[in-house]
């Protein structure tokens, strides 16, 4: 049964509306002021509210605004009942959060039609919200399952790798002629590499499963300090002339999970190096700025670039546009999930033609100027 709350300081007006609404199955309550309405909804939440525009103390528009400031009433349909049919009044009503209005004198057909429309809209929204919550729950359950499976796989693989190392040691000690046989030597040397690839892949799965959770402390830190730490991990590539960095002179301070944000930059830099093509040295340029409510960052390189057909697909897990390169296809998907957990986004710039450019941004409340 639909619940309807009528708010009007005039008893005659309340009785007229109640009389019309009694002709359809509903639970009706009436109060005589905006203040009383605010108290009533604490214990009895209606499916729709009819609020008179002109009331003493709190007007209908002021009451609507106070209700909409509370998250639990953000989607509660409120209809303003008014004798005024001017644009200014209607604009103020809609700005306050009303979804519709009813002109006085109240006409039966119009009243019923607009109330039923508001209730249908709310029920449809509630269904969509419930479906969305179910999908989020299923997604989280899937991620938890991925994390559990990856974690459970890692232990036996690591154990097998340790046993194999012990086997190699005993083989060298007891049967050196077998260990030193050229054919057997090559075969045995391949096995540790296979174990390492399996462990790396499992670690990648674990990182992706946990990427959407900010599990560390949110810290205020210079973005430059994060990049400095990450770039130090590519010291060997720099010494070999494989990569060259061009960095800005100033960095903003941001609030983030430092480990997760470090992983973002590590994955992006590794991606540029891996797909540098035939270049002996790839040049990676990083930029940042604070713009309005956003901290914006970009990273660009002069490598092979990414086909425009790749588009948003590259941020999906297990997507690889170049099968000739080794990898899990999870790196950029992990980056996207980490930024999403920080209320941020990442996009591929389709206009950049000299390689690949990724654009990222964080919301203002993560920026410490």
Q: Report mean pLDDT in 10-residue bins for the chain, 369 residues.
A: 91 90 86 93 92 91 92 89 86 90 89 88 79 67 59 59 66 69 67 64 59 66 91 91 91 85 90 81 91 87 74 66 54 85 87 88 60
pLDDT at 368: 44
131 phi, psi to nearest 5 deg: -60, -40
E strand or H helix at 239, and its extent?
helix 235-239
| Confidence at residue 353, expressed as pLDDT on a 0 to 100 scale | 82
β-strands 367-368, 294-301: how paired? unpaired
Position 367 scores a pLDDT of: 46
DSSP string, 230-276: HHHTTHHHHHTTSEEEE--S---EEEEEHHHHHHHHHHHHHHHHHT-
Rg (CA), the chain: 31
Neighbours of 85 (CB within 10 A): 10
**CATH 3.40.50.1000 describes domain 218-368:** no
pTM of the model: 0.47
The domain made up of 2-106 has a fold known as: Rossmann fold (3.40.50)
Cross-strand pairs, 299: 286, 358
Encode pLDDT of 256-284 as tens digits: 888 888 889 998 998 889 888 777 789 99
Nearest Cα residue to 248 out of 300, 288, 282, 302: 288
Q: H or E segment at 231?
A: helix 223-232
Q: Tell me what pLDDT residue 201 has.
A: 58
pLDDT at residue 369 in the model: 39
Helix (H) / strand (E) element for 172: namely helix 108-174
């Amino acid at each position: 049964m639909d619940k309807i709350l009528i708010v009007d300081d005039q008893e005659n007006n309340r009785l007229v509306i109640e009389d019309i609404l009694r002709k359809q199955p509903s639970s009706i309550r009436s109060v005589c002021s905006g203040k009383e309405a605010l108290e009533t909804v604490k214990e009895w939440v209606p499916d729709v509210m009819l609020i008179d525009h002109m009331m003493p103390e709190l007007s209908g528009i002021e009451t609507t605004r106070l209700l909409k400031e509370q998250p639990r009433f953000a989607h509660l349909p409120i209809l303003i009942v008014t004798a005024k049919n001017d644009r200014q009044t209607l604009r103020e009503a809609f700005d306050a959060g009303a979804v519709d209005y009813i002109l006085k004198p109240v006409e039966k057909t119009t009243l019923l039609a607009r109330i039923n429309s508001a209730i249908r809209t709310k029920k449809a929204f509630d269904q969509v919200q419930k479906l969305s919550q179910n999908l989020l729950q299923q997604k989280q359950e899937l991620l938890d399952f991925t994390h559990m499976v990856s974690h459970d796989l890692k232990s036996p693989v690591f154990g097998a790798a340790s046993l194999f190392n012990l086997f190699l040691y005993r083989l060298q000690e007891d049967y050196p002629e077998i260990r030193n046989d050229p054919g057997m030597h090559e075969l045995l040397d391949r096995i540790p590499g296979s174990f390492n690839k399996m462990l790396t892949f499992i670690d990648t799965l674990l990182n992706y499963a946990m990427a959407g959770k900010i599990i560390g402390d949110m810290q205020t830190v210079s973005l430059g300090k994060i990049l400095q730490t990450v770039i130090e991990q590519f010291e060997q590539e720099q010494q070999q002339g494989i990569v060259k960095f061009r960095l800005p002179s100033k960095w903003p301070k941001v609030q983030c999970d430092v480990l997760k944000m470090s992983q973002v930059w590590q994955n992006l830099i590794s991606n540029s190096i891996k797909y540098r093509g035939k270049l002996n040295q790839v040049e990676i340029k990083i930029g940042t700025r604070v713009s309005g409510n956003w901290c914006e960052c970009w990273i660009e390189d002069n490598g092979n670039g990414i086909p425009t057909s790749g588009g948003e697909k590259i941020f999906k897990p297990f997507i690889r546009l170049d099968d000739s390169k080794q990898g899990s296809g999870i790196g950029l998907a992990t980056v996207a999930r980490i930024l999403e957990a920080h209320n941020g986004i990442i996009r591929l710039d389709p206009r950049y033609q000299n390689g690949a450019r990724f654009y990222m941004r964080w919301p203002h409340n993560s920026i410490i100027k």
